[in-house]
Structure 1
C-alpha cells in the first residue's frame, strides 16, 4: 500500500512519520490491554475489573485506524494537516504542515474524525463486552 503524501479532505491528513507514531500508540495500547486482561484473569481480582479494558481497547483501535487510514482525528478537529518527515540529520522537514483553508474541507475532516472515533468506541465496547462475557461464562 502506498502512503499518501498530500492532504485530501476527509481522507488523508498525515504522512508516514505520523502514521508510525499512531501505530506505535495503538500497539502499546492493545498490548497493555492484553496484559491487563491476563492479570485480572489470573489474579483474585473481581472479573468486573475487565470492564477497564474499554479505554485501552478503544484507544488502540482508534489510533490503529488513524495509522492505517493516514488520518489524525486531533489534527482534523484543529483544521490542520501534517506531512513532515524526519531528515537524515535528525530534524524534520519544515514543509508539509499547515492549516486547512477551506471550510467545506474542514467540515469533511471533522465528519471523518467523528466516524473514526465512533468506530473505535464501538469496537472497544464490543471487545470489552466479549472478553467480560467470556470470563463470566467460563467462571473466571
Structure 2
C-alpha cells in the first residue's frame, strides 16, 4: 500500500521489511535461549523466559502481515515512504482513534500468540 488508511495501513514495504526482520531475529533468539536452557539442563521454569523474545517475534510478524505498526498507531504517525507514499502525523481524531484500536489489537494478538507459544515451549521442555 502507498496510502495511509486509518486503522488499516500505516506502514509501507520498507517498514514492513524492518518488522519482518525484527520478528525473525526475535524468534531466532528465542530458539537459542530455549536451546541453551534445555541443552544445559537448567530448570524448566527458565523456559518461561522465552516469552519476551516470542512476543517480539510475533509483534514483528503480525505488524508485517497487517501492514500496521502498533507504535506508530499509538503515536498517531504513519510511514509509507518506502512504498511511494509519504510519512507524517495523523491529525484527524477519528483516524487516531481507529489507529489506537488497531494498535491494541496488534499487541493483543501478539501477546496471545506468545503466551500460547511459551506454554508449548514450557510443556515440551518440562517433559524432556
Report the TM-score when normalising by structure 1. 0.87
Structure 2 segments unaligned to the other structure (5+ residues): none
Matched, 1:115 2:105: yes
**Deviation (angstroms), 1:85:** 2.5
- Over 4 Å off, 4+ runs: none
Q: Counterpart of 1:66? A: 63
Count of aligned pairs:
128
Q: Counterpart of 1:97? A: 87
Counterpart Cα distance in 2 of 1:36 and 1:114: 28
Q: Counterpart of 1:50? A: 47
Deviations 1:109-139 (A, max 9, x none): 0001001101111110111011111222x2x
Higher Cα Rg, which structure: 1
**Deviation (angstroms), 1:5:** 0.9
Alignment match of 1:36 (pick from 30, 33, 38): 33
Report the TM-score when normalising by structure 2. 0.94
Q: Counterpart of 1:6? A: 3
